[in-house]
Structure 1
Amino acid sequence: MKNFKFAALALALAAIGSANAAVITFQTGTSYALAQSTAQGYADVVNDAVTGSGRSQVLSSYDNVSNNGIFHNGDSNIAFKSTIDFGLTSAGTYSFRAGVDFGKGGAVFLDGQVVDFKTNDMWWGGNYGNSSQYFQVSGAALSAGNHTLTIYGLEGCCDGGQQVQFAKAGDDYQSFSVNTLAPVPEPETYAMLLGGLAMLGVVARRRRA
């Protein structure tokens, strides 16, 4: 009975915990590729690198992030892939920006669609004054539900701090973190939660009996 109770509680907590924060996955790999001619080219090259020689970390905040700072793995010939899964409880207009250090350029996808793409040497240096040095996605009309922002890039040398931010129309920019734009639970997650709570109810009734 005790094991049954713990299983029910774990099931309910898993359902709740899956929706408490934006999920920021930071991946890097080794790549000697040059600047690509298309956004999809960046996606293909970087995906190959992070799959073949990759490192991965789920971040608590996307602010001043670097390969060497996270993985202590050097600062040259790096392929970057950042995937941010977030959710909106209601439709809205949002803007995004990413200050990066991609010496060979990169690309940004929102829900699988290309929204920015640059082939030049990008180094924002903490300053959003020069639009050629960072990615910008302005006025994206997003529906309620879950969305994915994916950033790909290539760096020869050297590995500097990076930042990814969002702003709802009329609000200031803020960096993505575990406290922002939590994914919206899918219907099956609600079903899992209700199932776990029902199991706890059964246990409670049996104990009273």
Structure 2
Amino acid sequence: MPYSKLIASLTLATCSSFASAGLVIDSINVQMVSTKFSARNLTDTNDQKFATALNAFESSESAVCSEDLDAFEGVSYRGTCGGGKKNYGALYTITGSLIGAAEFEFGLDWGRGGFILADSKDTSVDYYNEDIWWAKSWTRASEVKSYVLTDVGDFSLTLLGFEGCCDGINSARYRTWDTAQTLQRSRPPEPTQWQTLKVNAVPVPGSLPLMAIGALLMWRRRQS
């Protein structure tokens, strides 16, 4: 194959890769503090409720434990930050990029309620005015909290929750699907299998063709 046609083929492959669904997780950070604050039964709008809860979290007199996680799996106040079993708040920040759509499921132990929100356009603040206890079972549909993002590019996902007792395990998983399929098929697109939410869980779409193009360009320069 001539050199020019090979470059064109690789470029087409790159564009095709970017058209498919892809989720890249750049970082997962958790901060935890000792606090007796409860996010239950707050008033005003969900945005205002979140602002009140975040202020209470940031105003805690205890030292903030901050940990960068490789995976959002088996996180607890005692196990991750060496805290006790009662009265704490947890703030998770997840950053990444998304082409297509992704559904996140969170198994949480937030007896005093909490929030999930994204910084992307047209996303909402989900407020949970309830005792959340998923008991390490993804089949407990009423306890597992879901959040969906669609074609947002770079994003930041925030979770803020509070626990009074007894420092259970917190975990997250995800699945993706290609939103372009809705234009090509009469039936709904099929999502991928559920996977544990990890840093760089999925390779950047199109990265391999781009690397190949770079290698060919370097080779071409050396030959000239």
Deviation (angstroms), 1:51: 5.7
Per the alignment, residue 124 of structure 1 pairs with 134
**Among candidates 135, 150, 165, match of residue 145 of structure 2:** 135
Distance 1:150 1:21, change over 3 A: closer
Per the alignment, residue 9 of structure 1 pairs with none
Question: Does residue 95 of structure 1 match 2:103?
Answer: yes
Q: Is the 8 A contact 2:31 2:67 kept in 1?
A: yes
The letter of the residue matching 1:24 is: I
Question: Does residue 148 of structure 1 match 2:156?
Answer: yes
The 5 A counterparts of 1:65-76 are 65-76=75-86
Instruction: Please list every run of 5 or more consecutive structure 2 residues that lacks an aligned counterpart in the other structure.
Output: 1-23, 178-190, 206-224
Distance 1:43 1:127, change over 3 A: farther
**Among candidates 23, 29, 36, match of residue 27 of structure 2:** 23
Instruction: Please list every run of 5 or more consecutive structure 1 residues that lacks an aligned counterpart in the other structure.
Output: 1-19, 185-209
Deviation (angstroms), 1:118: 1.2
Question: What secondary structure is seen at the aligned counterpart in 2 of 1:131?
Answer: coil
Normalised by the length of structure 2, the TM-score is 0.64
Per the alignment, residue 173 of structure 1 pairs with 194
Q: More strand per residue: 1 or 2?
A: 1
Deviation (angstroms), 1:43: 4.8
Deviation (angstroms), 1:21: 5.6
Deviation (angstroms), 1:79: 0.7
Report percent identity of matched pairs: 27
Per the alignment, residue 96 of structure 2 pairs with 86
The letter of the residue matching 1:92 is: G
Per the alignment, residue 62 of structure 1 pairs with 72
Q: What is the number of residues matched between the two proteins?
A: 161
Deviation (angstroms), 1:111: 1.9
Q: More helix per residue: 1 or 2?
A: 1
Deviation (angstroms), 1:78: 0.7
- Tell me the distance in 2 between the aligned counterparts of 1:31 and 1:183: 39
